[in-house]
Amino acid sequence: MIEMIGRTVAAVLAISFSVSPSHALPKHRLPSGYKWGRCLLIVSGQTRISGRCSYQIESGGDFNIQGPRQVFAGIDYPDTHSGAGEMSKDYWADVYKDGDLWAGYANSDISETHGDERWEELRREGACYIGKDVKVCLWR
């Protein structure tokens, strides 16, 4: 009888842990210096990021945004400390100060780890940086 009760309790605990909201979706950990925010990335009329994103703001105002499905070396996969082991699972973009102007770059395919699209002469409008065929916004 005690053995049967023990098995029943174990089964109930296993079921409750498997459907518990805290276990339903793993919490995505971010690298040091990154936070969750809201972003918008539109390139040539294609919305690539809209809503939840991770971001990092550097000194001087430079920043990068990552789509919510992005993965990070050393957190989601082993850090090889070389570009050869890098991976990407979502769109991302970097915006930086270039002299007196703002510029940026991003990936055009979610699997790309290097920016193959570049933008020059971005103008700031509130939380957005806008240029020819691109709009990058970050709300913290």
* pLDDT value of position 80: 79
With a CB cutoff of 8 Å and minimum separation 6, the contacts of 1 are none
* pLDDT value of position 3: 52
CB 139 within 8 A of CB 37: yes
Long-range Cβ contacts of 60-63 (<8 Å, 24+ apart): 60/97, 61/97, 62/94, 62/95, 62/96, 62/97, 63/94, 63/95, 63/138
* pLDDT value of position 27: 59
Q: Of 79, 55, 56, nearest to 67 (Cα)?
A: 55
Give backbone dihedrals phi and psi of 70, rounded to 5 degrees, phi first.
-65, 150
CB 109 within 8 A of CB 24: no
Long-range Cβ contacts of 16-23 (<8 Å, 24+ apart): none
CB 90 within 8 A of CB 65: no
pLDDT tens, residue order, the chain (140 aa): 555 444 443 443 343 333 334 344 345 789 999 999 999 999 999 999 999 999 999 989 999 999 999 999 989 998 877 777 799 999 999 999 999 999 999 999 999 999 999 999 999 999 999 999 999 999 98
Measured CA to CA, the distance from residue 11 to residue 33 in angstroms comes to 41
